[in-house]
Amino acid sequence: MSTGNIWDSVPPRSNSPLLPGVRSRTVATSRLRQHIYASRTEDGERLLLVPGNASSARFFEELIATLPGYTCVAPDLRGYGASEAKPGDSQRGLRDFCDVREALVEALGWEQFHLLGWSLGGNIVMQYTID
């Protein structure tokens, strides 16, 4: 498993290479180690993609590959894909998911970005925006 600035062309726990323009790595945050899929572009508008429940962020791979003008990051949710399976705080509900997203954004050094969520990710994005 890669951490830090080492990028992979084949994500952990997979034998399938990523599409051109997409890469993968693990980011250590204040909450947990989060595996991300990301675009190779680092100077475009920033877009955080949040997947649905029980799915890997690889769900967004084709979208990331087709948005060359954006700096896309799609994190696997806690315990899915290659992200750490650290216990969450179920009493906080969506806010716990939001805290994990915020820790990632801080680790990436992002201050302004767009959000897009699918299924549960849509709920996380709405709560994140409200908070």
Report pLDDT digits (tens) over 67-91. Answer: 989 999 999 998 888 999 988 888 8
Q: For residue 111, what are the CA distances in angstroms to 23, 38, 62, 101?
A: 22, 17, 25, 13
Structure tokens at 10: 């084949």
Number of other residues whose CB lies within 10 A of the CB of residue 43 = 7
Model pLDDT for residues 22-33, shown as the tens digit of each residue: 999 999 999 999
What local confidence, expressed as pLDDT, does residue 5 receive?
62
For residue 88, what pLDDT is reported?
A: 83
pTM of the shown model: 0.91
